[in-house]
Chains A and B, each alone.
Chain A
Amino acid sequence: EDQVTQSPEALRLQEGESSSLNCSYTVSGLRGLFWYRQDPGKGPEFLFTLYSAGEEKEKERLKATLTKKESFLHITAPKPEDSATYLCAVQAPPSGSARQLTFGSGTQLTVLP
């Protein structure tokens, strides 16, 4: 059974204080690892897809990396508007099927001004 574990559950940072969020996964044949941002009362907003170990992607202050067992979401010099819950998900079915995802429980990030 596919499993996704995110840590920490909650993280409080001062504005400008860089840190990393972790996503550990167990899946038989990773097809894709996804990062989403979710604001309270909203649906998840797509951030990144990573497909193979060693792959990295960046967007503004966020950088996602992938190894064979885990993914990191690095946040550089965060701002209060980066406060949100960050969700990690892995794709379960074989390729050729639409993206059925297994989600982790998320990391709730709070950036204090």
Chain B
Amino acid sequence: GAVVSQHPSRVICKSGTSVKIECRSLDFQATTMFWYRQFPKKSLMLMATSNEGSKATYEQGVEKDKFLINHASLTLSTLTVTSAHPEDSSFYICSASWVNTEAFFGQGTRLTVV
């Protein structure tokens, strides 16, 4: 299957700082990337849909000013958690796909805000 690389795999940051997570499609051009959040023993909750060259579409209840998404190229999307607080600690996962193909997922990023 296609390869999606997510970096970093783990990050610890201080409360009030910002953290950037990268999601790269290594062997295909992803027209769309998705960002999910997963709580322990819970399923994936879609946060936003990111289309290359346009603004991301956020799901209801997701703060767009806190979770900044950029999809500047067909192989890279970034999620920046701004002014992070302990309640933002979670497992963040990206996925990438192009029209009518399966979505392939990154390895996930464990964010801990202390």
In contact, B42 and A42 (Cβ under 8 angstroms): no
Check: A16 CB closer than 8 A to any chain B CB: no
- B residues with a Cβ closer than 8 A to A are 1, 4, 6, 31-32, 34, 41-44, 46, 49, 91, 93, 95, 97-108, 110
Complex partner residue of A104 from B32, B43, B102, B105, CB under 8 angstroms: B43
How far in angstroms is the closest Cβ of chain A from B9? 8
Q: Specify the chain A residue showing the minimal Cβ separation from B30.
A: A98
Known A98-B32, A99-B103, A101-B103: A42·B43 in contact at CB below 8 Å: no
**Which of A44, A45, A106 is the most central at the interface, judged by chain B CB atoms within 10 Å of its CB?**
A44
Known A103-B44, A104-B43, A105-B43: A98·B108 in contact at CB below 8 Å: no
Q: How far is the CA of A34 from the CA of B31 in the complex (A)?
A: 20
Lowest 7 CB-CB distances: which A-B pairs, in order? A98-B32, A43-B105, A99-B103, A105-B43, A103-B43, A43-B108, A99-B97
- 20 new A-B contacts, CB < 8 A, other than A49-B102, A103-B44, are A43-B4, A43-B93, A43-B105, A43-B108, A96-B99, A98-B97, A98-B98, A98-B99, A98-B103, A99-B32, A99-B95, A99-B97, A99-B103, A100-B34, A100-B49, A101-B34, A101-B95, A101-B103, A103-B43, A108-B41
